[in-house]
Amino acid sequence: MANLPVRLACSCLSLAVMLSTPGITVLADDAEKPKPPIECKLSLWEAPRSRVSAQQAWDNDTANVVGYRSKGTDKLESQYVTGDILRISREEFPSEDRTVEQSQSGVRSLTFDGREIIVDMLLVFTSDSVCFLGETVRFTQRGSITFNGDPRDGIDGVTIIAKVIDTSSALRHPFQFVTQDASWSPSAKRVVTLTATTFKPPHGPASIKKWARSLTLDEDYAERTKDADPYQSFAVTTGTSAENIYLKSLDDEMLWPQQLADKIARQFSETPFDEDRNTFLQEKASKYLSLLRNTHHALARSVLASTQTAIGLHVDQLGFHHYFVPRTGFTDIQKSFKELAAKQLTSMEDWNSAILAAHGGRQFDQTRFDELSVNLATANNDIESAADKVTGELGHMSQHEQDIAVALQKIEQQRVIIQARRDDAAEKERTNRTIGTATTVLVMAASFLPVSAPVAIAVGAAISVTGKGVLAWIPMLGD
């Protein structure tokens, strides 16, 4: 009984290891036993096909991602919605389904980022900055944006950056607000910014700016201040400038390319051998691979390229051919797994035995333990003694190094003194040699040329000859 807690702990440990080992299932005695495996004889080629067309499946896939962020002391939310097709409707966005009396007041900005954006419901805000980023932005008869309050923080409004802005089927005034009101503070601004290469108005007015203003309620309800420009709140960009702005936003801001790539991969994974759908998806992938070239959307390009490659090789995303039959030879695999599991369980039992033996109350040999303790203490003392000796020797070495340095200094001083004496002796030798030569010259001059005595005296003075030999000869020169 003394080892019962230890045995329980070991059993629990073994059970935990078994449960964490992939493929190992622990069954109670009364649990239902698994049924024998069923062989699968259908290949992926014979798998069920999609019952809807490729275009219908594409249009029905409106998956999106919504992000929220609160900034500032007012804790107003900034919302960001991205996807491939964003169908802004009551069914897709029930949280946005509000009446004018229920307008949202806790939102600072709302951005819809999608390849195709369809505004199909009423969006109501007290004041907000609503932005649409996409390839196509389209308003239906049910789609509109309403502001029922003054511009917050001085500015709000609607911004659309797209290739196509389509209001051909929209309400007459899809923007249910005015951009000017005499009762607003001077700093309050409500701006409508439209950037697109193609506009699709319902009737095609002569002026794009006039059409942009007609989207709002300004024609009927705006209360402008005196001499105010009716178009001062509208910024419309078209043509090449709009194309450049769109491409820059596509590269810097828009997130829908990644959603598009994921959608193509997702649709392909559902029916990887449906030829009609694969043709449709391959056209999509090829088109947007070209569009996204030289942009920062590297991951989207990678997903599109891998999907396109799989379609071209007639394999699924795992690389399996359409003739691959799943679970072929499953019985042999199951048998091998059971053998491996048995080996692992045997190892676990051995491990349990080792643990139990280690905790079985085995006594240490006290005599041997004391002997090892004495040896350890002796070794420690020896180490300390050796350390003291090393310290002493290092001290002696340091003293010797100082003595050597002093001796080298003295040697250098003696060398300098000897060098100076040698140089002085050499200088004296050169002086004596010069005096001897001059004396010889003067003697010879006095002997052979008596008349040149004054010259000899001058030469002697010029070369600073002061030797006794020369002075001794000077009286004789007069003779």
Residues 143 and 223 in one domain: yes
- Mean pLDDT within 31-51: 55
| Dist. CA 125–CA 138, nearest whole Å | 20
Task: Report the pLDDT value the prediction gives residue 471, as an integer from 0 to 100.
Answer: 47
Q: Is 291 exposed, middle or buried (0-12, 13-18, 19+ CB in 10 A)?
A: middle
Residues 236 and 288 in one domain: no
Residues 106 and 181 in one domain: yes
Torsion of CA 122, 128, 133, 134, to 10 degrees: 0
Closest CA to 174 of 131, 206, 212, 229: 212
Within a domain: 33: no
Residues 291 and 155 in one domain: no
* pLDDT for residue 74 is more than 80: no
Residues 199 and 308 in one domain: no
Helix (H, G, I), strand (E, B) or coil at 40: coil
In angstroms, the Cα distances linking 313 to 250, 261, 275, 288, 376 are: 31, 19, 12, 20, 72
Within a domain: 350: no
| Dist. CA 370–CA 365, nearest whole Å | 9
* pTM assigned to the model: 0.60
Task: Report the pLDDT value the prediction gives residue 436, as an integer from 0 to 100.
Answer: 66
* pLDDT for residue 479 is more than 50: no
Task: Report the pLDDT value the prediction gives residue 190, as an integer from 0 to 100.
Answer: 93
Residues 83 and 120 in one domain: yes
Within a domain: 38: no
- Mean pLDDT within 368-373: 80
Which tokens is 442 given? Answer: 């003067």
Within a domain: 468: no
- Confidence band, pLDDT 50/70/90 cuts, at residue 160: very high
Residues 270 and 248 in one domain: no
Residues 277 and 142 in one domain: no
* pLDDT for residue 140 is more than 60: yes
Domain extent, residue 100, equals: 65-252
Residues 101 and 147 in one domain: yes
Strand-pairing partners, residue 161, are 133, 195
Within a domain: 105: yes
Higher pLDDT, residue 74 or 135:
135
Residues 185 and 210 in one domain: yes
Per the structure, the count of domains in the chain is 2
Residues 293 and 165 in one domain: no
